[in-house]
């Protein structure tokens, strides 16, 4: 295996993907929530609560994994919904680098578990067999019966209480180390993911950067099947461009290969610093463009919006203003993201993209001192007082920046429930208006101050 010194600069290691699978109601969503550190997945004592796949990021010491929660697998069923749930689980396993097969510790030698274990023997993906709901001596008596299922290594855990979960993750990290957490690479080379609907000109744009036909370019949507890293040097600066397949609407994705393509585009966003959202100038803004913008914002990536194929638009100067207004109105997920009108075919204004990438990357890494933030907080609240809620007033005591890429801030408050969403938007907008952060998403969180401090 090549050392990080030789490979990290050009081809960063991807985060490993863990798929949690098993029969209904064995605790998959509870384990998912345990791993990602929050109650992101719905947990219900009813089979079928998780219909689609849910994705989250799990941090274990200095490593980060992508975790997929799935619905319960019913092997013998004609129910359309249950068949769909099983298909989603199969897709998750196809995407995964590691499979966590979860069993109910109160039901040893379950026939469905035995059948699934047999099917996993043909898998090329490593499978960890976890026996859940082992919460005490009463359940530990059942643990012995699981060894008769012919599994060489079993892990006995309680997803609800966290017992045994660290032991599993230690072995996973030793056997299948994932990429470092994002904090470890933020000072390195800028990584740029090129995303957008199919046939918007993503590969053509990178070819123009490279000055050669490094990437396949065709008018047939879906040519790019994988995320491809290309090293580009401009003005003595290096950039890694990650070309991805076009992200299609889910109902239009019919083949497993296309589903893999979409997921790789999502993974590209996981490991980039800046996203270039490519729009086709000849098409109106679509719902799928908005979905992609939402993905970029959710993952906290800086963004530059690229309007490609601008060479075919007549009266371009007049049209640019209208197009920009359409984009601003339709992509409210990306406030402040700069818009660049280019032609990948002719090369018109393509070099302007680098200036914008540098700008948003710099803005995303910007740090504001605590003293400046607290002056901003005092002035911002004085300018627009928060509303009273049930006779109580929201109070913010101080602010601090805890992270960059994306810029992340924490307000110490008396009660976050007293701060309505509209006032949170006001605070976020004021942060941007005062400090800039052009093209960078701002994350603002509330942290309740202990009551004993509130009362002083």
Q: What is the pLDDT of residues 426-441, one digit of tens each?
A: 999 999 999 999 999 9
pLDDT tier for residue 81 given thresholds of 50, 70 and 90 = low
Q: Which residue has the higher pLDDT, 209 or 105?
A: 105
Q: Which of 332, 364, 396 is the last residue of a domain?
A: 364
Residues 339 and 393 in one domain: no
Domain that holds residue 381: 370-454
107 domain-assigned: yes
According to the 3-state scheme, what is the secondary structure of the chain?
CCCHHHHCCCCCCCCCEEEEEECCCCCHHHHHHHHHCCCCCCCCCCCCCCCCCEEEEEEECCEEEEEEECCCCCCCCCCHHHHHHHHHHHHHHHHCCEEEEEEECCCCCCHHHHHHHHHHCCCCCCEEEEEECCCCHHHHHHHHHHHHHCCCCEEECECCCCECHHHHHHHHHHHCCCCECHHHHCCCCEEEEEEECCCCCHHHHHHHHHCCCCCCCCCCCCCCCCCEEEEEEECCEEEEEEECCCCCCHHHCCCHHHHHHHHHHHHHHHCCCEEEEEEECCCCCCHHHHHHHHHHHHCCCEEEEEEECHHHCCCHHHHHHHHHHHHHHHCCCCCCCCEEECCCCCCCCCCHHHHHHHHHHHHHCCCCCHHHHHHHHHHHHHHCCCCEECCEECCEEEEEEEECCCCEEEEEECCHHHCCHHHHHHHHHHHHHHHCCCCCCCEEEEEECCHHHHCC
Residue 141 lies in a domain: yes
pLDDT of residue 398: 93
Residue 165 or residue 236, greater confidence: 165
pLDDT at position 120 is: 87
Question: Are the C-beta atoms of 32 and 41 separated by less than 8 Å?
Answer: yes
| 270 in any annotated domain | yes
**Section 299-305 average pLDDT:** 93
- 234, part of any domain: yes
Q: What is the CATH number of the domain that holds 389?
A: 3.30.300.20
pTM: 0.61
Domain match, 275 and 337 both: yes
33 vs 160: CA distance, rounded Å: 9
CATH number assigned to the domain comprising residue 302: 3.40.50.300
Average pLDDT of the chain? 81
Residues 77 and 130 in one domain: yes
pLDDT in tens, 83-131: 666 777 777 788 788 999 999 998 888 899 998 898 888 888 999 999 9
Do 326 and 308 have their domain in common? Answer: yes
Query: Does a structural domain hold residue 181?
Result: no
Q: Are residues 168 and 195 in the same domain?
A: no
Asked whether residue 12 falls in the same domain as residue 156, the answer is yes
Confidence class of residue 185 from pLDDT cuts 50, 70 and 90?
very low
Among candidates 447, 456, 446, which has minimal Cα distance to 423? Answer: 446
Domain end: 364, 388, 408, which one?
364
Asked which of 39-53, 88-102, 218-232, 435-449 is least confident by mean pLDDT, the reply is 39-53
> For residue 220, what are the CA distances in angstroms to 200, 223, 243, 313, 368?
11, 6, 16, 22, 46
In a domain, 196, yes or no: yes
Q: Do 191 and 128 fall into the same domain?
A: no
Q: Examine the domain organization and report whether 253 and 309 are in the same domain.
A: yes
> d(Cα 308, Cα 326) in Å, to the nearest integer?
15
Whether residue 380 sits in one domain with residue 334: no
How many domains, the chain?
3
Whether residue 180 is contained in a domain is answered as: no
Same domain, 206 and 269: yes
Does residue 303 share a domain with residue 204? yes
Question: What per-residue confidence (pLDDT) applies to 408?
Answer: 93
Does a structural domain hold residue 66?
A: yes
| End-of-domain residue from the set 342, 364, 386 | 364
The answer to whether residues 149 and 191 belong to one domain is no
């Amino acid at each position: 295996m090549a050392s990080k010194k030789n490979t990290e600069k050009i081809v960063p290691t991807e985060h490993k993907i863990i798929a949690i699978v098993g029969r209904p109601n064995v605790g998959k969503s509870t384990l998912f929530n345990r791993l990602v550190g929050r109650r992101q997945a719905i947990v219900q004592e009813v089979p079928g609560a998780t219909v689609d796949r849910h994705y989250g990021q799990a941090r274990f010491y200095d490593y980060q994994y992508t975790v997929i929660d799935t619905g319960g697998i019913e092997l013998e069923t004609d129910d359309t919904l249950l068949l769909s749930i099983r298909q989603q689980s199969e897709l998750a396993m196809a995407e995964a680098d590691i499979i966590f097969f979860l069993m109910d510790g109160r039901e040893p030698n379950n026939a469905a578990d035995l059948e699934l274990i047999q099917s996993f023997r043909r898998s090329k993906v490593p499978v960890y067999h976890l026996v859940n709901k082992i919460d005490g001596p009463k359940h530990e008596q059942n643990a012995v019966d699981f060894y008769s299922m012919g599994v060489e290594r079993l892990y006995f855990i309680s997803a609800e209480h966290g017992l045994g979960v660290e032991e599993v993750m230690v072995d996973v990290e030793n056997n299948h180390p994932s990429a470092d957490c994002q904090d470890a690479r933020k000072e390195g080379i800028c990584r740029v993911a090129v995303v957008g609907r199919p046939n918007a000109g993503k590969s053509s744009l990178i070819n123009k950067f490279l000055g050669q036909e490094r990437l396949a370019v065709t008018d047939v949507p879906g040519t790019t099947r994988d995320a491809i890293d290309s090293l580009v040097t401009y003005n003595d600066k290096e950039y890694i461009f990650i070309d991805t397949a076009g992200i299609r609407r889910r109902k239009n994705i019919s083949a497993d290969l296309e589903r893999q393509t979409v997921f790789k585009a999502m993974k590209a966003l996981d490991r980039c610093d800046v996203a270039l959202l490519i729009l086709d100038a000849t098409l109106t803004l679509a719902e799928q463009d908005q979905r992609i913008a939402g993905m970029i914002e959710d993952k906290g990536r800086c963004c530059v919006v690229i309007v490609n194929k601008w060479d075919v638009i007549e009266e371009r100067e007049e049209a640019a203003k209208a197009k920009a207004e359409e984009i601003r109105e339709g992509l409210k997920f990306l406030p402040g993201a700069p818009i660049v009108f280019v032609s990948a075919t002719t090369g018109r204004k393509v070099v302007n993209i680098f200036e914008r990438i540098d700008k948003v990357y710099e803005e995303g890494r910007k740090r504001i001192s605590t003293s400046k933030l607290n002056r901003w907080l005092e002035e911002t609240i004085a300018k627009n007082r928060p509303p009273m809620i049930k006779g109580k007033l929201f109070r913010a005591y101080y602010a601090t920046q805890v992270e960059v890429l994306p810029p992340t801030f924490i307000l110490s408050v008396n009660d976050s429930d007293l701060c309505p969403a509209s006032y949170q938007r006001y605070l976020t907008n004021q942060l941007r208006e005062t400090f800039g952060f052009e093209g960078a998403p701002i994350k603002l969180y509330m942290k309740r101050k202990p009551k004993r401090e509130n009362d002083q």
